[in-house]
A and B are shown apart, each in its own frame.
Chain A
Amino acid sequence: MLKNIQEWTLLLSIFGIVALLGNWIGYNVLPLDALLGMIVLVLICLAGLIIQKIMPGNIPSVAYVAIVGILVSMPWMPGSAKVVEWTTSVNLLALATPILAYAGIAIGRSWTDFVKLGWRSIVVAVCVLLGTFIGSALIAEVVLRMQGII
């Protein structure tokens, strides 16, 4: 467990530093200005990962991470204003870029499988993603309009 926590902390820190530098270049936020926010995010992750290890059942750790994040930032929680203020300086897109950089390196190994797919599979795959995306958007649009939210 302790070893796990140490490993998570180190990796999240490396990831965090890369994201802070991307945040600086891409979104003009000085790393020092976003440092507190990044530390808060890393702590939220650690809390969620640890809870997942302790709790019974097979609920994925991202669910716990999301719940911890929501809890510490909801309006009824004391100190949530600070959490929101600090984490706002960490841009969402600055976190997404390193994820997809790692993803690009990792999917190289799936490439040989990919090129073996026939053109028909690729057409169907595009339709699957489009169908899901547009289907959900249409239903959301109808319900949000009925509720008068948009």
Chain B
Amino acid sequence: MSEERKNLWKDWRLHAIVLGIVLLTELIGTHQFQVGPGVILLLPMLYAIIIGLALYFTPIVKEKQSKNAEPLIVLGVTLLIAKIGVIIGPSLPQIIAAGPALLLQEFGNLGTIFFALPIAIFLGLKRESIGMTHSVAREPNVGLVMDKFGFDSPEGRGVMSIYIFGTVFGAVFMGLIAGFLATLTPLHPLSFAMASGIGSGSMMAAASGSLVAAFPGMENDIVAFAGASNLLSLSTGLYMSIFIGLPLTEKLYNVLTRRKQKKEEMKQEKGA
């Protein structure tokens, strides 16, 4: 692996393709349109991910480029985090002042359990739903579920399916809904900024980026809060899943499925 990972800089084909995508998408620029009271923002980074994906299916991108691109995402995120660091620095007094909100909103990540688990069960999913809805299914959470239930368990398959969706569509999805919800709902953009830090660099970039585009006057505060929240999510996410998320999901799953079973039994009795 080390031999292959070295000399990534020599993959000029990959870098030239990315440069081409960046120049093209920045030329197209940001477009927005009104959907009811909300605004949908189309940002260059959203076109970039879609063009990149489309090029993968053309002869321009070969398997090698696709493989080499992966460590470059990690390095690019590092550069983005450095930028976020120098935005957080000057805002440190405000961030400390908002500390309680930052810490407590981490528990909002459990919102997925109360919102998505009942829907998953309603759709007829079985124990997959535990893996699917206990967290946002980023790398640490996938590791945890695999460790606890095994790779080939229903829970493992569940967490993988959400992981795959997040990898492919997470950034696009977050980028679209963050700006839309912030312009649609009465909630403050800074609350959404904190919510953008869900523990994935690209999703955070997309979500906070679309917030910045929608509220340019608050750029520094939005980025500082989103970045600080993302760091918190990265450092607490795993423990949140171990101690609260996963046990809570299993409990709620048992309660919900028992109720569903009872209902079905009642129906059968009535029918008989």
Contact = CB atoms under 8 A, between A and B. Distances in A.
Contacts of A62: 77-78, 81, 201, 234
Given A96-B80, A101-B49, A140-B101, A66 B88 contact: yes
Contacts of A41: 79, 82-83, 86
A27 to B, nearest CB: 8
Prevailing SS type, chain A contact patch: helix
A51 to B, nearest CB: 12
A75 B92 contact: yes
Contacts of B51: 101, 104
A95 to B, nearest CB: 5
B129 A124 contact: yes
Contacts of B52: 100-108
Contacts of A120: 120, 123-125
Contact of A106 (B69, B79, B106): B69
B114 interface: yes
B104 A143 contact: yes
A109 B136 contact: no
Given A92-B80, A140-B190, A124 B98 contact: no
A68 B86 CA distance: 9
Contact of A105 (B69, B100, B229): B69
A66 B227 contact: yes
B83 A109 contact: no
A123 B133 CA distance: 11
A129 interface: yes
B15 A45 contact: no
Given A104-B51, A109-B56, A144 B101 contact: yes
B73 A106 contact: yes
B195 A133 contact: yes
A74 B86 CA distance: 8
A125 to B, nearest CB: 4
Interface stretch (B146-154, B165-173, B257-265): B165-173
B266 interface: no
B181 interface: yes
B108 A100 contact: no
A9 B15 CA distance: 15
Interface residues of A, number: 93
Contact of A136 (B84, B170, B194): B194
B98 A147 contact: yes
Given A25-B23, A84-B90, A98-B18, A69 B125 contact: no
A139 B29 contact: no
A7 B6 CA distance: 7
Contacts of B21: 98, 101, 104
Nearest to A9: B9
Contact of B202 (A66, A68, A100, A134): A100
Nearest to A24: B26
Interface in B175-220: 177-178, 181, 187-188, 190-192, 194-196, 198, 201-202, 205-209, 212-213, 219
B145 interface: no
Given A66-B85, A149-B190, 6 more contacts: A11-B75, A66-B88, A87-B86, A93-B213, A100-B49, A104-B48
